[in-house]
Amino acid sequence: MAIDTVVLEASPGELRAAALADGRTVQVEHWRAHEPSRSGAIYLGRVTRIDPGLNAAFVALGEGQDGFLRARDVDRAAEAPGRHRRIERLLHQGAAIPVQVQAEAHGDKGPPLTTQITLRGRLLDFRPGGAGVTLPEAIPEKAGERLLLMLAPLLAEHEGVRPRLALLDATERETAAGAELELLRQRWRAIDARRDRVAAPACLDPGPEPAARLMSAFGLKSLPRLIASDSLTGAALRRWRDDFAPDGVAEVEIWSGPSTPFETLGIEAAIEQALTPRIELPGGGELLFEPGETLTAIDINSRGFAGKPGSAASELNFTAIAEIARQLRLRAIAGTIVIDCVRVGAEAPRLIGALRRALADDPTRSDVHGLTSLGLLELSRKRGGPSLAERLQAARPQPSPRLDAAALAALRRALAAARARPGRTLTLSVAPQVAEAFAGPLAAAYADALAAIGRLRVVASDRLKLDGDEITADG
């Protein structure tokens, strides 16, 4: 899914960005003025608590929730490798340390931190305090060797870089890499200079401006078509292009259609569909997404799929894998994911390979772990922030009791009250739908309760919820 179009649309209080490939939306990002992202921001933090049990420290940032710093994310952790790496040996309470937010806070947890500062570019990531060139696994071996020879002479002592795949596609690679490295180096010098002028906790750098922040999330390998909803957004896009894609020739288009670009290009429709649990597949069949607290389950259903005799299940699985990769990125699903495929047999290695290839262009790291003994395809995807559903929908309400379960529980409580107050007439006040159930499908259960209690009166009350009831005794 090579990105060929990026659209930025501004509206009051919000900036949205969408990446498209062959006319289909594959990723959507949001920036909101009332809750600006802290991911990538750099702070001079203050260690407030060391927790040996968690092998981590809590760090005050001066705004929002305290951050969470694990021992493995402390730069000096290299001095104590493996299981001997202990947070209490690396840090002490009250220490002022520069840290960077790795991802958005999730739920009640504070944002994860690292002391391994990284400034992200389009062609490479710069690590002040790092050492040399680190090649990502996705770069082919020969291309990686060429990048090592090219980048190593550009680095000063105690500097590190990690090239991105985009560098392989850049024209005049050495010139482009050198220009971006110097840009990131200057930014770090300005950040580092602020450390001497502030007291911890304090923000040293909030990260890129909104447009640049959103663009960096797409992991672009080459410069796509750029569309902005208005002139101000277009100017921000041009600044990003001039800084991080000086070799690019694409112009920034200012949208002039009668409707918004998100509406006209089908992005709104893609977002709406991504908030539903079911996705229809070409030729029949469907995907069912079931997000949970601990993992996301994806079921491939063959309903209506008409493939070749003897290979329909295989066709459906491979068709589904491509759409699953797109939906994971579009929905920003993270954590543990299991896929229930249709009758996976000897084709399992091919299916695993197809999933890895489909996820290769995703800027968020995914690891495909293989097939379980139950035939479930397992993978994990790194969390970088809230999912699309979390960004756009309120948390799902707590599960509510079934009507029959609530009604039967009310009868149990009435029976217990009768035992506690024998010989008294009891009044059981319940929600109207519960009273109706006693006169309908639960009439037999109500008759049994009446026989056991002897004197019981049921009153319907509009002020009571389904699982609420009141019991009073007369006389």
pLDDT at 295: 92
**What pLDDT, on a 0 to 100 scale, did the predictor assign at position 293?**
80
User: pLDDT by residue (tens digit) across 153-189?
Assistant: 999 888 999 988 777 766 678 888 888 899 999 999 9
Strand partners, 240: none
Predicted local confidence at residue 223, as pLDDT: 84
- What are the distances in angstroms from CA 78 to CA 70, 71, 83, 434? 13, 10, 12, 63
The dihedral built from the CA positions of residue 207, 213, 216 and 57, taken in this order, carries a sign that is positive
Q: pLDDT digits over 2-24, tens only?
A: 899 999 999 988 999 999 999 99
Determine the pLDDT at residue 109.
76
Low-confidence ranges of the chain (pLDDT < 70): 76-84, 107, 138, 169-171, 246-249, 304-311, 396-399, 475
Between the alpha carbon of residue 81 and those of residues 56, 142, 467, the distances in Å are 15, 31, 54
Q: Which residue has the tokens 């203050």?
A: 46
The confidence score (pLDDT) of residue 107 equals: 65
Question: Is the Cβ–Cβ distance between 65 and 111 less than 8 Å?
Answer: yes
Return the structure tokens found at 176.
Answer: 């482009």
Least Cα distance to 361 among 329, 320, 319, 317 occurs for: 329
pLDDT digits (tens, 9 = 90+) for 391-417: 888 776 666 778 888 888 889 888 888
**Quick check: pTM over 0.85?**
no
